[in-house]
């Protein structure tokens, strides 16, 4: 009985092995695709895909690639790169200030592939904006459409076109993650109402356009929040309403007014030593609007000067807060300061002046 079972078992094992080998052979013989596969049919692109493609095709000719040679001590021969976009048909290109800062030569590569020399027309470090103008070119220049940033909403879809890591004409998409951010710039100042986005922005994207779903410029990409310098989901853009105010002034005058009243204020750490809330005046420039208004700085003994606590009713605690309120008012306007001296507060009207000269 046991020998019969063994024979049957052996037969079944051999049968299974035969089936397994035959299956493997037949699959190899009849199922192997040794020739190019037939392309599977697909339907039309989705409406979202079609819209994104059309937006890129329409706007990418307005986006350019900038590369620079450094001119700072120790930086001769150092090359930089960034993005920009055509502002007008006369060849003015908008980019970030930090893209062209310290450069002795700027060249711009257009959508056609042509590389053109460019001259820096004007810079606005407080807004991280700059304008360069192209030398002669026969290329057809297509200025970028301009939108608004005052009515943007968190959650809107946005598109960024630029040249990250030197890879030109790269499109990334995302949403507006937040509005009203502040971004530090030079001289203890800040850019107000900055747009935060999760659209990928990497080194080389700087100066490129941030677009809304209508393909209009709503911001100029300027920075990423990352310790490594590589995109980590948080990018920023200068709002187009500021761009549309600053750029024409740079084209006309090569500079933009820097609102001030002619004071030097203590830094936050120094001010904290006095336990005061507000902006402590360290020095008042002779002949300035602040001097004409009777404001006083520190005395020779080092006692704190006048303390500015409010501008037009808005509290100020930092130099950046104060600068922002003066910018809101504008050069030539008169602002009302709340000033504390010897424990007493008073209102002081002061004319806003241009301290850029």
Would you please indicate which residues are annotated as catalytic (active-site) residues? 98, 128, 206
In angstroms, rounded to a whole number, what is the distance separating the alpha carbons of residues 19 and 134? 75
- Residue positions counted in the chain: 357
In angstroms, rounded to a whole number, what is the distance separating the alpha carbons of residues 250 and 130? 8
326 is written with which tokens?
Answer: 């003066």
Q: Please name the residues in contact with 60: beta carbons below 8 A apart, sequence gap of 6 or more.
A: 111, 161, 169, 171
Classify the phi-psi angles of 347: left when phi > 0, otherwise alpha if psi is within -120 to 50, otherwise beta.
Answer: beta
DSSP output for 103-158: EEEEEEE-TTS-EEEEEEEEEEGGGTEEEEEE-S--SPP-PPPB--STT--TT-EE
For 125, list phi and psi in degrees, rounded to 5.
-55, -35
69 is written with which tokens?
Answer: 């040679």
Exposed, middle or buried, 8 (CB in 10 Å: 0-12/13-18/19+)? exposed
Q: Sign of dihedral through CA atoms 332, 296, 292, 265?
A: negative
In angstroms, rounded to a whole number, what is the distance separating the alpha carbons of residues 93 and 105? 15
Tokens 């935060």 correspond to 196
Q: Please name the residues in contact with 216: beta carbons below 8 A apart, sequence gap of 6 or more.
A: 145, 146, 147
348 is written with which tokens?
Answer: 């002081």
Q: Which helix (H) or strand (E) holds 218?
A: strand 217-224
In angstroms, rounded to a whole number, what is the distance separating the alpha carbons of residues 182 and 200? 19
Helices (H), the chain: 2-30, 47-59, 97-100, 240-253, 268-273, 289-292, 319-329
């Amino acid at each position: 009985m046991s020998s019969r079972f063994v024979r049957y078992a052996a037969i079944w094992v051999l049968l299974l092995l035969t089936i397994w080998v035959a299956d493997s052979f037949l699959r190899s013989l009849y199922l192997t695709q040794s020739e190019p596969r037939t392309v599977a049919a697909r339907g039309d692109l989705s409406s979202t895909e079609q819209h994104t493609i059309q937006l890129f095709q329409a706007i990418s000719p307005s986006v350019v690639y900038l590369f620079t040679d450094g001119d700072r001590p120790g930086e001769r021969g150092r090359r930089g790169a960034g993005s920009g976009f055509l502002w007008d048909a006369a060849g003015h290109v908008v980019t970030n200030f930090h893209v062209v800062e310290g450069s002795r030569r700027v060249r711009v590569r257009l959508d056609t592939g042509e590389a053109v020399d460019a001259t820096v027309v004007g810079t606005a470090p407080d807004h991280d904006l700059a304008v360069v103008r192209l030398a002669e070119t026969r290329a057809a220049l297509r200025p970028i459409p301009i939108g608004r940033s005052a009515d943007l909403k968190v959650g809107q879809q946005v598109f960024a076109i630029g040249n990250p890591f030197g890879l030109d004409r790269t499109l990334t998409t995302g949403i507006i993650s937040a509005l009203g951010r502040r971004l530090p710039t030079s001289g203890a100042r800040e850019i107000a109402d900055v747009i935060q986005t999760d659209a990928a922005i990497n080194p080389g994207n700087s100066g490129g356009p941030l677009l809304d779903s209508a393909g209009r410029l709503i911001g100029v990409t300027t920075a990423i929040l990352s310790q490594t310098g590589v995109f980590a989901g948080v990018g920023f853009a200068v709002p187009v309403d500021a761009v549309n105010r600053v750029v024409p002034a740079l084209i006309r005058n090569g500079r933009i007014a820097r609102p001030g009243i002619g004071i030097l204020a203590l830094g936050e750490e120094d001010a904290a030593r006095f336990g005061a809330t507000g902006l402590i005046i360290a020095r008042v420039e002779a002949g300035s609007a602040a001097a004409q208004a009777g404001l006083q700085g520190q005395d020779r003994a080092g006692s704190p000067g006048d303390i500015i606590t409010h501008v037009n009713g808005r509290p100020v605690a930092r130099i950046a807060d104060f600068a922002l309120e003066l910018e809101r008012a504008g050069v030539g306007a008169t602002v009302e300061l709340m000033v504390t001296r010897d424990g007493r507060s008073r209102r002081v009207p002061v004319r806003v002046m241009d301290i850029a000269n």
